[in-house]
């Protein structure tokens, strides 16, 4: 259906893609895997004719008997959305925030002149219903910000398949989604491909997702396809060293040394956090939404505690309360033996730090790294006299050279930015670090490096962690205990290994069952 022959993309003398050759047959799912920067997304943009200005291409991209690299822009405008649809990684940035979801799905039909406005809206309603957003619950007049991450991704899918394209390109469509939502989105893509006979190019760094979906898979490294073939055959044999390294990173277990103290560091007692919701009538009382409901637990010095659950279950709300960023309606949080509240001393507050999911979004891009890492010093009565040395030591601790402090954050890769975020959390020498989805957006090899770093720092500094994640395999590998959260409540808690090996609550069982896995017999063959 589409064929890439020796596709090469250059900027000046630098090669971004080099001699990439792929074939996707009608009705087939093809996986494209590799680390960040390997060229996966650039391959998709080259197919779509969306490469940035100044990029030089050679080779060919055949759609039927037409070479897309030689097609004029007028022809490409007819092809995009019509014969080739694309789902982008981040739906909130791919969707227009000031247009309703109905208008955005209908726009595809209107741009291509396939329907009148009323007809296009009727088709939009049917497509949104097809992706699980029926009009009685999700009217066409809703805006993207009124939907969850998984629902926004469904809107992006509805836009991409509105005109029944021959090829659907899905670029990391489930990276930031929790396991149950990810399973729903992947099932939906499978159903659409089967029902409509279209081809799917699935771009991802999650090898387990590819194992469950793709007929064929290609592995990319530094702009080249280093290995390709039938998915099961490739997973069993792995003839290229880079493929073997990717699989090793997927199975990676950080070396951890148990060192949990019996001394309590943080205690949460019957925590309740409510939010106001819009009034149901003009004169009616405001509604209340309970995000955290009667949560209690104790974290000990040097302990690593996992907190898992679906998006919207209250994990991050609980984390903000622990950090002192949001008040509780009832209950109490005690840290370092003192109640955590507005009068909590800054000197003690510096002992609890946080690493956010998106390091780039949590940094000021106009500051150099030295100032970014030194930012938590404002919690101290006075900045330490050896501030620059402390920043250099924190950067060295996370595996970055000390001279990184003189550069800007945009000069680093995603994995390096996350290391800088960890250095910022370390610089005040805290006792507790809250890691909120700190590795969810990283590819498998960088994730393995960051998890090793987290384990090493815990052993060296006696740190306690609260590890918030929807990736159950990560939580299993780096925590001593785990709590499972649903609708603001802890439904199951216990030793990590025990909970994962023998879950008691039905919700925990569903979370574990929804986690993508590489079939065990494929692994057996590989290790044999």
Binned at pLDDT 50, 70 and 90, residue 197 comes out as: confident
Task: Give the Cα separation of 213 and 206 in Å (integer).
Answer: 11
Q: Is the pLDDT of residue 275 over 90?
A: no
- C-alpha closest to that of 30 among 8, 2, 61, 58: 2
Task: Give the Cα separation of 131 and 155 in Å (integer).
Answer: 8
Task: Give the Cα separation of 511 and 310 in Å (integer).
Answer: 8
Q: Is the pLDDT of residue 167 over 70?
A: yes
Binned at pLDDT 50, 70 and 90, residue 528 comes out as: very low
Average pLDDT for 245-272: 86
Question: What pLDDT does 383 receive?
Answer: 78
Average pLDDT for 153-162: 91
Bigger pLDDT: 178 or 124?
Answer: 124
Q: Is the pLDDT of residue 261 over 70?
A: yes
Pairing mode of beta strands 264-277, 330-335: antiparallel
- The secondary structure of residue 377, as a DSSP letter, is G
Binned at pLDDT 50, 70 and 90, residue 225 comes out as: very high
Task: Give the Cα separation of 514 and 516 in Å (integer).
Answer: 6
> Do residues 351 and 428 make contact, with C-beta atoms less than 8 angstroms apart?
yes
How confident is the prediction for the chain on average, in pLDDT? Answer: 89
Task: Give the Cα separation of 207 and 318 in Å (integer).
Answer: 31
Q: Classify residue 62 as exposed, middle or buried by CB count within 10 Å of its CB (0-12, 13-18, 19+).
A: middle
Task: Give the Cα separation of 179 and 208 in Å (integer).
Answer: 12
Find all residues with CB under 8 Å of 332, minimum gap 6, and list them. 267, 268, 269, 270, 271, 339
Q: Is the pLDDT of residue 525 over 60?
A: no
Binned at pLDDT 50, 70 and 90, residue 527 comes out as: very low
Task: Give the Cα separation of 450 and 465 in Å (integer).
Answer: 14
Question: What pLDDT does 350 receive?
Answer: 87
Bridge partners (DSSP) listed for residue 368: 408
Q: Kind and range of the H or E element at 78?
A: helix 73-79
Supply φ then ψ for residue 406, to 5 degrees: -95, 5
Question: What pLDDT does 137 receive?
Answer: 85
Joined tokens for residue 129 = 């219903």
Average pLDDT for 177-197: 85
Q: Kind and range of the H or E element at 442?
A: none
Bigger pLDDT: 251 or 425?
Answer: 425
Q: Kind and range of the H or E element at 281?
A: none
Specify the length of the chain in residues: 528
Pairing mode of beta strands 432-436, 264-277: unpaired
Task: Give the Cα separation of 381 and 301 in Å (integer).
Answer: 25
Q: Is the pLDDT of residue 215 over 90?
A: yes
Q: How far is CA 303 from the centre of its chain?
A: 25
Task: Give the Cα separation of 522 and 368 in Å (integer).
Answer: 47
Other beta carbons within 10 Å of 329: 12
- CA angle at residue 209 from 207 to 215, to 5 degrees? 90
Joined tokens for residue 86 = 């694309």
Average pLDDT for 282-298: 87
Q: Is the pLDDT of residue 365 over 50?
A: yes
Handedness of CA 122, 124, 129, 134 (dihedral sign): negative
Average pLDDT for 482-500: 94
With a pLDDT cut of 70, the percent of the chain lying above it is: 98
261-298 as b/e: b if 16+ CB within 10 A: eeeebbbbbebbbbeeeeeeeeeeeeeeeebbbebebe
Supply φ then ψ for residue 248, to 5 degrees: -65, -40
- C-alpha closest to that of 89 among 515, 421, 441: 441
Question: What pLDDT does 523 receive?
Answer: 61
Q: What is the pLDDT of residues 408-458, one digit of tens each?
A: 998 887 778 888 999 999 898 899 999 988 887 677 888 888 889 889 889
Average pLDDT for 459-463: 88
What beta strand segments (E) does 446-499 contain? 464-468, 481-486, 489-495
Average pLDDT for 330-354: 87
Joined tokens for residue 131 = 């992706």
Q: Is the pLDDT of residue 354 over 60?
A: yes
Other beta carbons within 10 Å of 465: 24
Question: What pLDDT does 179 receive?
Answer: 83
- The secondary structure of residue 408, as a DSSP letter, is B
Q: CA of 244: how far to CAs of 3, 37, 248, 271, 523, in Å?
A: 27, 18, 6, 46, 12
Task: Give the Cα separation of 448 and 57 in Å (integer).
Answer: 34
Q: Is the pLDDT of residue 128 over 80?
A: yes
Q: Is the pLDDT of residue 526 over 90?
A: no
Question: What pLDDT does 391 receive?
Answer: 94
> Do residues 203 and 169 make contact, with C-beta atoms less than 8 angstroms apart?
yes
With a pLDDT cut of 90, the percent of the chain lying above it is: 53
Handedness of CA 505, 510, 516, 521 (dihedral sign): positive
Other beta carbons within 10 Å of 216: 20
Q: Classify residue 160 as exposed, middle or buried by CB count within 10 Å of its CB (0-12, 13-18, 19+).
A: buried
Find all residues with CB under 8 Å of 360, minimum gap 6, and list them. 409, 410, 414, 417
Q: What is the pLDDT of residues 33-51, one digit of tens each?
A: 988 778 998 999 999 999 9
Helical residues (DSSP H) of 112-148, grouped into ranges = 117-130
Question: What pLDDT does 326 receive?
Answer: 87
Q: Which long-range contacts (CB under 8 A, 24 or more apart) does 132-139 make?
A: 132/184, 132/188, 133/101, 133/158, 138/101, 139/102
Question: What pLDDT does 321 receive?
Answer: 92
């Amino acid at each position: 259906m589409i064929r890439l022959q020796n596709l090469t993309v250059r900027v000046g003398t630098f090669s971004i893609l080099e001699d990439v050759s792929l074939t996707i047959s009608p009705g087939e799912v093809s996986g494209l895997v590799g680390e960040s920067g390997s060229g996966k997304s650039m391959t998709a943009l080259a197919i779509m004719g969306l490469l940035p200005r100044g990029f030089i291409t050679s080779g060919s991209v055949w759609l039927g008997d037409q070479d897309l690299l030689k097609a004029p822009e007028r022809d490409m405008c007819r092809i995009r959305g019509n014969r080739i649809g694309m789902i982008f990684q981040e739906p909130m940035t791919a969707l227009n925030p000031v247009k309703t979801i109905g208008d955005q799905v209908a726009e595809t039909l209107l741009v291509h002149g396939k329907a009148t406005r009323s007809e296009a809206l009727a088709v939009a309603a049917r497509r949104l219903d097809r992706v699980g957003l029926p009009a009685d619950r999700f009217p066409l007049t809703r805006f993207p910000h009124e939907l969850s991450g998984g629902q926004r991704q469904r809107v992006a899918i509805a836009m991409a398949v509105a005109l029944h394209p021959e090829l659907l390109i899905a670029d990391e469509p489930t990276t930031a989604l929790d396991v149950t939502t990810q399973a729903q989105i992947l099932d939906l893509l499978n159903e659409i491909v089967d029902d409509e006979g279209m081809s799917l190019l699935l771009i991802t760094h999650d090898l387990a997702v590819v194992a469950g979906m793709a007929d064929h898979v290609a592995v990319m490294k530094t702009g080249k396809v280093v290995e390709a073939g039938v998915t099961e055959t490739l997973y069993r044999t792995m003839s290229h060293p880079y493929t073997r390294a990717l699989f090793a990173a997927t199975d990676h277990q950080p070396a951890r040394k148990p060192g949990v103290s019996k001394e309590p560091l943080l205690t949460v007692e019957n925590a309740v956090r409510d939010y106001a919701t819009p009034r149901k009538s003009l004169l009616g009382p405001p509604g209340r939404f309970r995000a955290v409901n009667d949560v209690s637990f104790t974290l000990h010095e040097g302990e690593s505690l996992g907190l898992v659950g679906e998006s919207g279950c209250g994990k991050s709300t609980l984390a903000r309360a622990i950090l002192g960023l949001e008040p509780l309606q009832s209950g109490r949080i005690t840290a370092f033996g003192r109640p955590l509240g507005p009068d909590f001393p800054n000197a003690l507050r510096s002992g609890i730090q946080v690493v956010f999911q998106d390091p780039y979004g949590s940094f000021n891009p106009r500051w150099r790294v030295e100032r970014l890492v030194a930012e938590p010093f404002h919690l101290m009565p006075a900045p330490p006299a050896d501030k620059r040395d402390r920043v250099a030591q924190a950067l060295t601790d996370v595996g970055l050279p000390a001279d990184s402090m003189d550069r800007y954050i945009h000069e680093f890769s995603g994995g390096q930015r996350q290391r800088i975020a960890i250095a910022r959390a370390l610089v005040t020498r805290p006792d507790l670090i809250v890691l909120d989805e700190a590795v969810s957006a990283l590819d498998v090899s960088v994730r393995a490096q960051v998890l090793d770093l987290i384990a090493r720092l815990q052993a060296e500094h006696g740190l306690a962690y609260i590890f918030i994640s929807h990736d159950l395999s990560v939580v299993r590998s780096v925590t001593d205990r785990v709590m499972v959260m649903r609708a603001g409540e802890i439904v199951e808690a216990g030793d990590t290994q025990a909970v994962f090996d023998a879950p008691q609550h039905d919700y925990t069982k569903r979370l574990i069952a929804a986690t993508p896995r590489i079939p065990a017999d494929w692994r057996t063959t590989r290790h044999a």
